[in-house]
Amino acid sequence: MDKPLILVSNDDGITSRGIRVLVDIMKDLGDVVVVAPDSPQSGMGHAITIGNTLRLSEEELFQDVVAYKSSGTPADCVKLAKHYVLKDRKPDLVVSGINHGSNTSISVLYSGTMSAAIEGAIEGLPSIGFSLCDYSTKADFSHVEDFVKSIAEQVLYNGIPKGVALNVNFPPKRNEPIKGIKICRQARAKWQEDFDERYDPNGQKYFWMAGNFVNFDKGEDNDEWAIANNFVSVVPCQFDLTAHHAISQINNDWDWEQLKNL
């Protein structure tokens, strides 16, 4: 029986510690191919490269694993993998990460890690984005490795609904073991931005964006609660951003006759 074909990507770049950990785990589950950015792409969201060159080169960075680095975004990497690198083979699983830092709540919209996973889902492939809530480049991943492997196995053998990507976040390593896994919804929260006005050595003004994460959600069924309480959070995500509940309200409440006369 052929081993599953697993595509690995990320947004921290092909040399990050997180992707090395992920590749080592996935090698136990199947044949691994890596296509990842040649430099960090955090916060790129679902950006793709248009009107500029895309470069792709094979690299010997992982033992017994074919790997390519790309000048593109995480979404570009999955597109290149699907339509060029693996054009004659269909991945059984797309995994992205392990990201250095949280991708809970609203951060999923800005996340390059999750954009790679969601791009996989758009292509009809079972996909998972993994993130560790520790921003250190030397983060300790040892406490999450068994969870990464088990979740990937569940997706390989049991599947997930088509068009869905799993957003998996792990708490940082603490003095107590992780309590378990929670299937969650996305917390209602946002980033409150602050723009620091500065000047470069030539006297030209520039801005440095900072801010604080503000959680408005008091529920115990969301990803922020899960991480705060030392659980792994798993949020099923989709690329359809339609606010379905608003369609009937707009149809019923708007003055369509007036709009016709504009």
Q: Which residues touch 89 (CB under 8 Å, ≥6 apart)?
A: 5
Q: What is the DSSP letter of 220?
A: S
The rounded distance, in Å, linking the Cα atoms of 127 and 130 is 10
Please tell me whether 167 is known to bind a ligand.
no
Q: Tell me: is residue 12 an annotated ligand-binding position.
A: yes
Burial of 6-31, coded b for 16+ CB within 10 Å and e otherwise, reads bbbbbbbbbebbbbbbbbbbbbebbb
Q: How far from chain centre, in Å, is Cα 124?
A: 16
Q: Residue 253 annotated as binding?
A: no
Sign of the CA dihedral with 200 first, then 203, 206, and 210 last:
positive
Owner of token pair 């929670």: 182
Whether omega for the bond prior to residue 48 falls within 30 degrees of 0, making it cis, is no
Cα 136 from chain centroid? 17
Which of 172, 168, 83 is closest to 124 using CA atoms?
83
The contacts of residue 73 (CB under 8 Å, 6+ apart) are 37, 41, 44, 47, 48, 49, 112, 115
115 annotated to a ligand binding site: no
Binding residue numbers for a divalent metal cation: 11-12, 42, 99
Binding residue numbers: 11-12, 42, 99
